[in-house]
Structure 1
């Protein structure tokens, strides 16, 4: 794990407030999009990228989650005008798209414990769209990103204990210490 030179968090745990960390979270999604475009269309920037994005979101259950999330990023919400699925809670179009994103395929990366990709996906989704989610939940999710990116996965007991600490009012530093020490064992 590396510290962000802008915010000082373990990268990318400063997202969404730190632009650099937020960019690193977005890059996790973009890597998947580029690989998909190259594999399926032989180019990372085909001229009909928006059409491809619309086709992907029409069948999210047929594509990896990173591809689906990136496709949504390329479409504009007709209601709020932001990136589709990332608008504020209460934007009906974004809420609907945000729900559909979870039907996408999750494939664990080689060498990671089963379930790591699901945890990474949920934490990325919460970090990229924190609206309407409890601040303590967002905090734990974003602090967890560096560990999940490295391919680790907390046990159920570790995850529950961390959430319990957050609900009891543990500070960000206390939570980070638990996540970065206990979850690495």
Structure 2
């Protein structure tokens, strides 16, 4: 029922529903199958039709950042390993209600681009993003 009306449901509900359904084409969790699985490709695209509302007490845009990061982590095909790592490691801070500004996000990405480890990246975002957007 949920996946038949994704545009009428919150994105988190749609995401949870996809996790509970098997793809008839590839057998994996619906929307998480390999690139090229037409049913998962379609379901993954439909997830963005779901309703997105910021939670109370978080900066505007936090829910969107969370949604995009979850989407990338759930279906990383065609996305660089550094990008997936950065988005995965950023999830706890976003779930905690913080949102980096553009400059903060760019500096964080530079940590990985310059060969920083996962631990250094995580330490950086946990230290720098807790203060809110700076740009």
Q: What's the TM-score once normalised by structure 1's chain length?
A: 0.66
User: What is the alpha-carbon root mean square deviation over aligned residues?
Assistant: 1.4
Larger radius of gyration: 1
Name the residue aligned to 2:34.
Answer: 88
Note the C-alpha offset of 1:162. Answer: 1.4
Note the C-alpha offset of 1:109. Answer: 0.8
Name the residue aligned to 1:113.
Answer: 59
What are structure 2's unaligned runs of at least 5 residues?
Answer: none
How many residue pairs match? The answer is 131
Note the C-alpha offset of 1:77. Answer: 0.9
Name the residue aligned to 1:102.
Answer: 48
How big is each residue's C-alpha offset from its partner over 1:50-104, in whole Å with a ceiling of 9 and x where there is no partner?
A: xxxxx22122111100111112122221211111101122212111111110111
Is 1:79 equivalent to 2:25 in the alignment? yes
Q: What's the TM-score once normalised by structure 2's chain length?
A: 0.89
- What secondary structure is seen at the aligned counterpart in 2 of 1:132? coil
Name the residue aligned to 1:39.
Answer: none
Distance 2:35 2:104 in 1: 29
Name the residue aligned to 1:156.
Answer: 102
Structure 1 stretches of 4+ moved >6 Å: none
What are structure 1's unaligned runs of at least 5 residues?
Answer: 1-54
- What secondary structure is seen at the aligned counterpart in 2 of 1:118? helix
